[in-house]
Structure 1
Amino acid sequence: MKITNRLMIGAVAAFGVSLGTPALAQETITVSTWGGPNHGINTIVWPTWKAWIEEATEGRVSVEVVHDMGPPAAQMEIVADGIADASWIFHAHMAGRFLATQLPEFPTFEEFSSEDAAAAYWDTHQEYLAEAGEHRGVDVLAMGVHGPGQIFTAEQVDSLDGLDGKRLRVGGGVMSDLAEAIGFTGVALPPTGVYEAASQGVVDGAMLTLESLRSFRVAEVAPHTLTVDGGFYRGSFAIVMNPMFWDKISQEDRQAIEAVSGESLSRLFGYMMDVSDQRGVEFGKQHGATFTQVPEEDVEMLRGVTEELIADWTRDVAERGVDAEAALAHFREQLALAAEDEGIADRVVSQ
């Protein structure tokens, strides 16, 4: 269903938040955002990208961020329809459309930063995954992942057996597959709906990231965290642009914007997730949250499940022209290389 211009006008009038468009700016990238005003995407990523763009284009192009133009699952449509010029999307919100983007979601049982993972993901997308054509209708400016997804429960459990019969929030993608394998009931909810659902007893907990302890108030309703190294899953994101925006600016300015997007913007997204997770853990500990590592026998079970999920995914993405084995090998190689590169922290202008 198309999002109407009438809704757009109302959203911009009611919720538009400018990051301070400079007087000399000739064009402005209108960014549709979701997540609360204090979420890292809004306090770290957009302000930094805005500063990069203004510097790269010598002030000819700026960024304006608009909240609440539509729900998270509608962001792709909002950009493709030209209601906004850019946004960030969570691939699992659009079940069926995105499959190749599950590549970074599978459990790895290894610790690594979201910044390094995002840099590796960007390179892998450009080399292998873009062939699937899953982002048709928009241009991809960056790829991103969130931090290790863990399991949060209202009642403390110390193994996967303790989840039997429980109802936990899932967000689609690999999360839903893991829910079936582990044996709990997955309930599809956006992160913003977890607090209310858990408060009312609709769910017993959630599969979410550590940042959610703070940003989505999970520490108040599901303070017990069951963890595995590297997370039970990770989530896949992209920052996308309406291709028609490029017609408004010069080729020089387009190249300048692309130069501060790509790997740099992907790293920035991952860095934001790392910072947000750290803040979430600190907040959780201050409010009595517990953290329990799953026993080794559960890890071995998860390894077997993961192998099966990857085998199924490999067959499915082959139908979309993706060499899954080569893509996974490339991602792991790039992940090691990304860890050796200089980080993005010194280039972040707002935290």
Structure 2
Amino acid sequence: MKAPTSLLAAGLASVALAGPAIAAETLTVSSWGGPNHGINTIVWPTWKAWIEEATEGRVTLDVVHDMGPPAAQMALVADGVADASWIFHGHMAGRFELTRLPEFPTFEDFTSEIASAAYWRTYETYLAEQGEHRGVDVLAVGVHGPGQIFTADKAESFADFEGQRLRVGGGVMSDLASAMGVTGVALPPTGVYESASQGVIDGAMLTLEGLRSFRVAEVAPYTLTVDGGFYRGSFAIVVNPYFWDRISAEDKAAIEDVSGESLSRLFGYMMDVSDERGVAFAEELGHTFTEATAEDIAMLREVSDGLIDEWADKVSSGELDAREALEFFRDQLGQVDAEAGIVDRVVTTEG
């Protein structure tokens, strides 16, 4: 899938010619994905263009790599080392519980763009006021594509995973791994290739985009799949609230206007594109994809229902009914307009 490109050049050029040059305020973004990851080739370039257009060039965006590991991104932003970043909630065990909501298996295929838009609506309606992201402001939330299981040796059923060491990243995937008799090894996706090539792990629970982005297809040639994925992963794009003190109220409102559901959809769209590229890359290497059996899927449903009940009982409090929030999210999956995406507004630095 080739992402259409909209450079917004005409609009930005007119801004430049409208008056004397004024130094733009810079939103410094910490990014932990590799240079070719879609977060860097699609999300940040597009959001930068949106911000520059919305603020008439008064605010721009600069991406800095390797400011810290994935699990440190929340602290980097909260402490003001970076103005903004993207975080994976599962990397911070015990900090985030409500954000497990979109991670449970749906057993239905939805694009990550639709799921991310539904998640943003759920976040605004139910989760934002619970304050789990204290210390930062949330400008978007998103989910990655269906998480599947990649292995060095072919697996045809869940029984084949028993006793194996699989990479997990926290959240629902870790709970599922335990229920399946798997020894979970906590690793960021950036550590999978090296650990698998050295025999430290037998495989990984990861997304299809990881087959290419993190070179997993080179060390794990087999994938066991479930419709909709074994799990999804929850992310947020966050900003230090003190950044707003450096810009006008007008520019703050303009940035928020090109964030929220639009930025959430953009994040999900990036994940969809990355998944397709991951599958294509793996197929070129002769990768084998095997669907889980009906018996295994029935078992997974039972395990998932139990995890949902446990989670809902734990996080429901006050006016928050977690089961109601989850039902709202799943209803929104069918309400999001798939035709009203952001594809025509995407800027990409990758051919």
Quick check: 1:47 aligned with 2:73? Answer: no
Aligned partner of residue 257 in structure 1, secondary structure:
helix
CA contact (8 A) 1:112 1:230 kept: yes
SS in 1 for 2:290: strand
Tell me what 1:59 maps to: 57
The C-alpha deviation readout for 1:327-350, integer Å capped at 9, x for no partner, is 112111211111445111111011
Q: How far apart in 2 are the matches of 1:340 and 1:271?
A: 11
Match of 2:67 among 69, 88, 108: 69
SS of 2:206 mapped into structure 1: strand
TM-score by length of 2: 0.92
Q: Is the 8 A contact 1:132 1:321 kept in 2?
A: no
Shift in CA distance, 295/339, structure 1 to aligned 2, threshold 3 Å: farther
Which runs of no fewer than 5 residues in structure 2 stay unpaired? Answer: 1-15
Aligned pairs for 1:137-176 within 5 A = 137-176=135-174
Equivalent residue of 2:150, what SS?
strand
- Name the CA distance, whole Å, in 2 between partners of 1:55 and 1:260: 10
Counterpart contact for 2:29–2:84, Cα < 8 Å: yes
Q: Which amino acid aligns with 2:205?
A: M
Does 2:343 align with 1:345?
yes
Q: CA deviation at 1:54?
A: 0.2
Name the aligned partner's letter for residue 335 of structure 2. L
Alignment equivalent of 1:193, drawn from 188, 191, 194: 191
The separation in 2 between residues aligned to 1:151 and 1:40, in whole angstroms, is 21
Distance apart, 1:288 and its partner CA: 1.0
* Partner residue in 2 for 1:99: 97
Question: Residue 293 of structure 1 aligns with which residue?
Answer: 291
* Structure 2 partner of 1:222: 220
Counterpart of 2:250 in structure 1 is 252
- Compared with structure 1, are the counterparts of its residues 224 and 96 closer, same or farther at alpha carbon in structure 2 (3 Å cutoff)? same
1:82-125, CA deviations, whole angstroms, 9 ceiling, x for partnerless residues? 11110000000111110000000001100000000000000100
Percent identical: 72
Counterpart of 1:141, as a letter, is L
2:269 maps to which of 241, 263, 271: 271
Using structure 1 for the length normalisation, give the TM-score. 0.92
1:11 match: none
Does the 8 Å CA contact 1:25/1:62 hold for their aligned counterparts?
no
Q: Deviations over 1:169-191 (max 9, x none)?
A: 00011111101111111000111
CA–CA distance in 2 between the matches of 1:313 and 1:158?
29
The amino acid of 1:308's aligned partner reads G
Mapping for residues 178-189 of structure 1, pairs under 5 Å: 178-189=176-187
User: What secondary structure does 1:337 align onto?
Assistant: coil
Shift of residue 320, structure 1, vs aligned partner: 7.3
Residue of structure 2 equivalent to 1:33: 31
The answer (yes or no) to whether the contact 1:100–1:322 under 8 Å persists in 2 is no
Kept in 1: contact 2:114–2:338 (CA 8 A): no
CA contact (8 A) 2:156 2:290 kept: yes
Contact kept, 8 Å, 1:213 with 1:223, in 2: the verdict is no
- In the TM superposition, residue 322 of structure 1 has moved relative to its aligned partner by 2.6
Equivalent residue for 1:206? 204
Q: Aligned residue for 2:77?
A: 79
Aligned residue number for residue 123 of structure 1: 121
Partner amino acid for 1:135? H
Q: Which amino acid aligns with 2:157?
A: S
Contact 1:154 1:222 in 2 (8 A): yes
In the other structure, the counterpart of 2:3 is: none
Structure 2 CA distance for aligned equivalents of residues 345 and 194 of structure 1: 31
| Equivalent-residue separation in structure 1 for 2:319 and 2:95 (angstroms) | 15
Separation in structure 1 between the aligned mates of residue 166 and residue 285 of structure 2, nearest angstrom: 21
> Given that residues 167 and 201 in structure 2 are in contact (C-alpha distance below 8 angstroms), is that contact kept between their aligned partners in structure 1?
yes
CA distance in 2, matches of 1:335, 1:186: 30
Whether contact under 8 Å (1:131, 1:321) holds in the other structure is no
Q: Does 1:312 align with 2:326?
A: no
Say if 1:224 and 1:289, in contact at 8 Å, map to a contact too: yes
Superposition deviation, residue 25 in structure 1? 4.0
- Calculate the aligned-residue CA RMSD, in Å: 1.1
Determine helix, strand or coil for the equivalent of 1:300: helix
Q: Aligned partners of 1:95 and 1:222: how far apart in 2?
A: 26
Structure 1 spans left out of the alignment, 5+ residues = 1-21
Q: 1:238 aligns with which of 229, 236, 243?
A: 236
Give the Cα–Cα distance (whole angstroms) in 1 for the partners of residues 347 and 199 of structure 2: 41
Give the C-alpha shift of residue 286 in structure 1: 0.2
Paired residue type of 2:231: Y
Look up the equivalent residue of 1:316 and give its one-letter code: K
| Runs of 4 or more consecutive aligned structure 1 residues displaced over 6 Å after TM superposition | none
**Distance change in 2, residues 1:347/1:166 (3 Å):** same
Q: How many residues align?
A: 330
Output the CA distance in 1 between the equivalents of 2:274 and 2:285. 16
Residues 124 and 133 of structure 1: CA distance in aligned 2, closer, same or farther (over 3 Å): same
SS in 2 for 1:65: strand
Specify the code of the residue in structure 2 equivalent to 1:108.
Answer: T
- Partner residue of 2:7? none
